[in-house]
Chains A and B, each alone.
Chain A
């Protein structure tokens, strides 16, 4: 069964600290993996995309990694800010259809305290 599991479910850190969010998937075949950030009361916004051939990609203070062999991805946030408080959702796409079916994780709720 194609699944996307995220951990931890929730995380609280102090402003300025770093953190790492995890995403494990069993989706096969695999096309790409995206991380989305969803602020409270808003829709998700794409942060970064990882394809099969990519190991690491950065977007400002966000760095995503992908290990296609172990089917794991991580999102590392450096020097956290209050505005990083949000839910971070991992979404995996397969290659099984023209549309590229999407599988969503339940998200990690990150809270950054001052």
Chain B
């Protein structure tokens, strides 16, 4: 079944640790995205990719990095986590059509940095 997967679902870590949030999709979509979502707030785009070896920064200033070595895989890395990074991180891929982009989201990673 085509889907988009994120791991881990929950992560609690200490300040200064390096972490990688995993995202994989089986739909063959070229475009993938990372969004940050805080309670009651809109989603903010932090990174996106048009395809393999293509990555761009989004609207929200972020200290994270991403890579796109394979079409299906779009991991996000924080080199040194801080309490300000505590948030929900959503990965998405999109299907292009004449009506524009339709986003398919993973279930998210809830990150807590102590």
Interface residues of A (CB under 8 A from B): 4, 9, 31-32, 34, 36, 41-46, 49, 51, 89, 91, 93, 99-100, 102, 104-107, 109
Contact = CB atoms under 8 A, between A and B. Distances in A.
Please report whether the interface of chain A is mostly helix, strand, loop or mixed according to DSSP.
Answer: strand
B105 A32 contact: no
B102 interface: yes
Interface residues of B, number: 21
B41 interface: yes
Please report whether the interface of chain B is mostly helix, strand, loop or mixed according to DSSP.
Answer: strand
B102 A102 contact: no
Most interface-central of A34, A36, A44, A91 (chain B CB within 10 A) = A44
B43 interface: yes
Contacts of A102: 45, 101, 103
A93 B101 contact: yes
Contacts of A43: 4, 90, 92, 105-108
Contacts of B90: 43-44
Given A41-B107, A42-B107, A43-B108, A99 B40 contact: no
A22 to B, nearest CB: 16
27 contacts: A32-B99, A34-B102, A36-B103, A41-B107, A41-B108, A42-B105, A42-B107, A42-B108, A43-B90, A43-B92, A44-B105, A46-B102, A46-B104, A49-B100, A49-B102, A51-B99, A91-B103, A99-B31, A99-B48, A99-B101, A100-B100, A102-B103, A104-B43, A106-B40, A106-B41, A107-B40, A107-B42
